[in-house]
Amino acid sequence: MAFTLAQKLLARHARDIASDADLAPGRIVTCALSLTLVNDITGPLCISSMKAMGVDRVFDRTKTVFVMDHFTPQKDIASAEQVMISRRFAEEQNLAHYYEGGDAGVEHALLPEQGLVGPGDLVIGADSHTCTYGGVGAFATGMGSADVAAGMALGETWFRVPESIRVEFTGTLPEYLGGKDLILWLIGQIGVDGARYKALEFGGSAIDALPVDGRMTIANMAIEAGGKCGLFAADAATLAYCKNAGRSGDTPISADPGAVYEQTLVCDVSTLEPQVACPHIPSNVKPVSAVKDVTINQVIIGSCTNGRISDMRAAASVLKGRTVKKGLRCIVLPATPAVWKQALREGLVETFLEAGCVMGPASCGPCLGGHLGILGGGERAVSTTNRNFRGRMGSLDSEVYLAGPAVAAASAVTGVITDPGTL
């Protein structure tokens, strides 16, 4: 039988399949896990679940990852105490991968960069954007704390084999566009539940040419279409990325020719405009020209969606020699310490500071309205993050527009939503 990427990846880890038919969409399979992940918000619930399960050791101390990234640097007493619960547990369990402070970054930028995930892996994380690792050819999906606790205890979990939607991006990406524009376009087409319970599988010539950072941006927002995962074949670019991250032994992986898809969408990206998701739902997507004069108070450049070095470069190239509009705050949060250092080395941090940006730590911070850039009533932001639900970044009366780093940077200069090509 010809398999989709989702089926192929699950098959590698499945423990209870007798024949190909057991991998038909809708079937339930039990799979061994390559890695399990929690953060400072979901960690404490996971730990208490494990205790209630009567489990005193994780299944593998080298496959259990704790990243303190949401309300860190600890924003208040309660969040500091939540981190203490995770830190104590990591010490007790002698976990190989506990990240806090100067080691920590936004988890879904950090793990691929550290070489902890790669092609063919099966990862669950108590964070919905765990699907990011589809960008490096891993089957990765978000679950709740109890499910991840069970995974940490048993080293396995159950999956419903998903139907797959194939998305082909053809043509050549115009200047200033990146992965963000492609995934926003798709969510605009299929809606926030268009891929509910399903896998999104991406391919086509524009994807072949897209750097791994951009693929991770796309995979990251599969969940915003309701998807279980957003998958990419592992090709030469993936293998080079993983080797650079210190991994060895990775091999290419792709869907079988003739695999069956529930639906196939094709988009020629050559004529695409930068895309913007308008309030208050990620599917309310418009080309930037349709929202161009909307005034804004804040710009966020960062997050697990767009906080990687290529995003910093895209933003800096627009901000170079320009200044942030007076009265507007433009907050740049490189997603990991390594991205921060690289941005510093390349002079991007200087560009941001010269332009009048605020440089923030490697934290999820403002994306979920945690800290480091909260919106007051009536305020409006352009953000390179992933969700614009009502109240997501602060007041219920604030608004968030989602865009890529070039649009965000251009908008910071003018104070209104701006196509960087028109600057």
Partner 1 sequence: MHYTGRALRVGDHIDTDAIIPARYLVTSDPAELGAKCMSGLEEGWVDQVRPDDILVGGVNFGCGSSREHAPIAILGAGIKVVVAASFARIFYRNAFNVGLPLLEIGEDVNDIRHDHRLDVDTESGIIRNLTTGRTYTCPPLPSSIRDIISAGGLEGYVRQKVAERG
Q: Which residues bind partner 1 (CB under 8 A)?
A: 28, 41-42, 44-45, 48-49, 52-55, 70-71, 76, 78-79, 81-82, 125-128, 130, 142-147, 149-150, 153-154, 158, 160, 192-193, 196-197, 223, 226, 228, 281, 368-370, 387, 389-392, 396
Within 10 angstroms of residue 23's Cβ, the number of other Cβ atoms is 19
- What is the distance, to the nearest Å, from the Cα of residue 87 to the centroid of all Cα atoms in its chain? 24
- What is the distance, to the nearest Å, from the Cα of residue 11 to the centroid of all Cα atoms in its chain? 24
* Shortest distance in whole angstroms from residue 81 CB to partner 1: 8
110, containing H or E segment: helix 107-113
State which residue, 121 or 224, has the beta carbon closest to partner 1.
224
Task: Encode 184-208: b = buried (16+ Cβ within 10 Å), e = exposed.
Answer: bbbbbebbbebbeebbbbbbbebbe
Please give the Cα distance from 274 to 399 (Å, whole number).
19
* Shortest distance in whole angstroms from residue 401 CB to partner 1: 16
Q: Tokens 């203490």 sit at which residue?
A: 84
* Shortest distance in whole angstroms from residue 155 CB to partner 1: 10
* Shortest distance in whole angstroms from residue 337 CB to partner 1: 23
Please state the φ and ψ torsions of residue 422, each to the nearest 5 degrees.
-100, 0
State which residue, 155 or 287, has the beta carbon closest to partner 1.
155
* Shortest distance in whole angstroms from residue 390 CB to partner 1: 7
- Sheet with 35-39, strands from edge to edge, namely 97-99, 64-67, 35-39, 122-125, 139-142
State which residue, 48 or 254, has the beta carbon closest to partner 1.
48
State which residue, 325 or 387, has the beta carbon closest to partner 1.
387
DSSP per-residue codes, 180-209: HHHHHHHHHHH-TTTTTT-EEEEESHHHHT
Q: Is 124 exposed, middle or buried (0-12, 13-18, 19+ CB in 10 A)?
A: buried
* Shortest distance in whole angstroms from residue 193 CB to partner 1: 4
State which residue, 88 or 345, has the beta carbon closest to partner 1.
88
Rg value, the chain, Cα? 20
* Shortest distance in whole angstroms from residue 370 CB to partner 1: 6
State which residue, 126 or 412, has the beta carbon closest to partner 1.
126
State which residue, 220 or 351, has the beta carbon closest to partner 1.
220
* Shortest distance in whole angstroms from residue 313 CB to partner 1: 29
Q: Is 115 exposed, middle or buried (0-12, 13-18, 19+ CB in 10 A)?
A: middle
State which residue, 236 or 396, has the beta carbon closest to partner 1.
396
**Token duo for residue 143:** 């679950």
* Contact by Cβ (8 Å): 23, 161: yes
* Shortest distance in whole angstroms from residue 146 CB to partner 1: 4
Please give the Cα distance from 198 to 163 (Å, whole number).
5
State which residue, 44 or 361, has the beta carbon closest to partner 1.
44
Please give the Cα distance from 67 to 90 (Å, whole number).
11
